[in-house]
Structure 1
């Protein structure tokens, strides 16, 4: 009787092991890849980009060869991290809303930066951006080139239009620097919280409103010069 019980226990354990193996084999590769990318984002945000793929694989609970099956090298994985964190969250609708001149410019800027702050003011976004700069990766330069085209030049044009300033000339680097000052001040809230461990205003959207108001008190005068 005891032998029969042990036999059934061993048999059931083997069935469970085989079932788990089959489940792993059946997993959609896209799900596994997404899981690796998600883990990589958390890993690099915590440890910086000096962390090795071997350490990353261990933290995920997979083998390094499996990791390389999805990403042939660390650079390919970092490119995917960049896309996932900095590119994909950008909402093209924000650009259309910034162009909507039926809405006052202060309300457009406030709405945009409230929405944008919800995307960037988090642990992973801020720390990855800072670590990338310290490591000398091109994340920062690539992202700022993107921002210049998608947001900064657009904001300059819309401020000009809202205040009757000539909109025919393309925004200059100096014009874009004005918007970068507003943009950076909002990003700095994340630096204070996730890099320095310092408190930030409890009501971030109210703080954004103040920053937008202060910006619009000075920017139109500078842009009209």
Structure 2
């Protein structure tokens, strides 16, 4: 019995350094990603890995030890600043028809802008678009499926009562994007143009939602007239 205890203790003693080493490696990878986000948000994606490593305080070979390529690092950046921040409950909020659509949108966009549309994310998004890095394209697909198209179907329910199941029209698609890009522009004004809204982000967002819903209801009503 004592022998088994000694063996177990020995096994635990030898396993601990490995666990600590793995934890250390994960921590170092996370630190590199965090500092790479700051670096690329400042200089853009034209910055090379040698300069990136220098800014982090590590050697370029060590950087490539953790990330096989610049693209692999960018993939981790996307996951850190967007994919991992997505909250499934946001779609539940948007679909919760026990609340008026205006209240749902205000609740969703208040949390979404605080969580996702940070200054770093906004700058990363623009640099990615200018350098044709895949981040902005993947983000656009997520927004289209999980926000814009959900918004369109909820507008139908709000405006029509019992909407027919039909394909999304070009006008509806444009309307849905109009709200999202308008709120996104508030982040651009703050992070890139240095002209934040004098109202503050949340009151300005609430104003945009109210203006959008009033205009969208009118536009969609006019669009439906010829069919009627």
Question: What TM-score results when the alignment is normalised by the length of structure 1?
Answer: 0.84
> Unmatched 5+ residue regions in structure 2?
1-19
Aligned residue in 1 for 2:168:
171
Distance 2:21 2:95 in 1: 49
Aligned residue in 2 for 1:185:
182
Q: Secondary structure of the residue that 1:159 maps to in structure 2?
A: helix
Matches within 5 A, 1:74-223: 74-164=70-160, 166-223=163-220
Q: Secondary structure of the residue that 1:88 maps to in structure 2?
A: helix
Aligned residue in 2 for 1:15:
none
Q: 1:123 to 1:117 in 2, by over 3 A?
A: same
Distance 2:40 2:125 in 1: 11
Q: Secondary structure of the residue that 2:82 maps to in structure 1?
A: helix
Distance 1:130 1:158 in 2: 29
Question: What TM-score results when the alignment is normalised by the length of structure 2?
Answer: 0.83
Q: 1:158 to 1:76 in 2, by over 3 A?
A: same
Matches within 5 A, 1:31-42: 31-42=27-38
Cα RMSD of the aligned pairs, angstroms, is: 1.8
C-alpha deviation, 1:141, in angstroms: 1.7
Question: C-alpha offsets along residues 44-102 of structure 1, whole Å, 9 cap, x if unaligned?
Answer: 00010011111111111111111111110001111111111121111110001111111
C-alpha deviation, 1:121, in angstroms: 3.5
Instruction: Tell me the matched-pair count.
Output: 202
Q: Secondary structure of the residue that 2:104 maps to in structure 1?
A: helix
Q: 1:136 to 1:164 in 2, by over 3 A?
A: same
Q: 1:108 to 1:133 in 2, by over 3 A?
A: same
Q: Secondary structure of the residue that 1:28 maps to in structure 2?
A: helix
Distance 2:22 2:157 in 1: 57
Q: Which moved more, 1:58-67 or 1:198-207?
A: 198-207
Distance 2:27 2:169 in 1: 44
Q: Does the Cα contact within 8 Å between 1:33 and 1:70 map onto a contact in 2? A: yes
Distance 1:109 1:25 in 2: 45
C-alpha deviation, 1:176, in angstroms: 2.0
